[in-house]
Structure 1
Amino acid sequence: MLSVSLPVTDQDAALAFYTQVLGCELRFDAVVPPGVRMIEVVPPGSEVGLLLLPPDSPIPVALRLGTDDADAAYARLAAVDGVVHHNDEVLRWDGVPPMFHFSDPEGNSLVYLEDAAAG
């Protein structure tokens, strides 16, 4: 697992809490396509990031899993009964890795994110 997202109503307050109170390290803080501020912090002793996203964000609140080939993962999951793709294809935006959003047969929200370290 690369990260899990959390909905937060005040990103600045959440960032302060996670870094100053819980001791998380800031890994990423920028506006990404489609125009959403994405903040990622990492708890002490962990490699798994926490994404602090607005609750109404078009970026899904989901577990983010790494894959070395987003296209192959998309095709593999297309053949699995009960998996719901939320994107018509693998998303490719400037400055971010290829990714797609899907739900498992239980309805849990997941994202596959192409990650060179996953291979």
Structure 2
Amino acid sequence: MPISQILTITVPVADQERALAFYTGVLDFEVRTDNPFPMGRWLTVAPKESGTALLLASWFPGMAPIGGLVVAAPDLDALAARLGEHGVPFEGPSDEPWGRQLLFQDPFGNGFVVSQA
């Protein structure tokens, strides 16, 4: 049987509290799970209308940041303004042959490509 969906993507973070503040405060994600876990805390966040969550994992200290997580937003100018208000460096929005996009990283170096939805 083929895989039917992606449930969770593990994103390495050094500090789960700082990551939680960034993803919920800056990106307006919601907390999906926040439970004790043998290696710390099972903490997932996601955009409010997304089926796929990000696992903010601090128990992989050697895991390199993820580059190129592709997400969508309906208004890149509004996202750019919000990122700027929070002091988050970003590139764009820019018009590319494949569409409009904006680039940024979370505080731990995980890179995002945001496409205009």
Which TM-score bucket, shorter chain as reference?
0.3 to 0.5
Q: TM-score, normalised by structure 2?
A: 0.44
Q: TM-score, normalised by structure 1?
A: 0.43
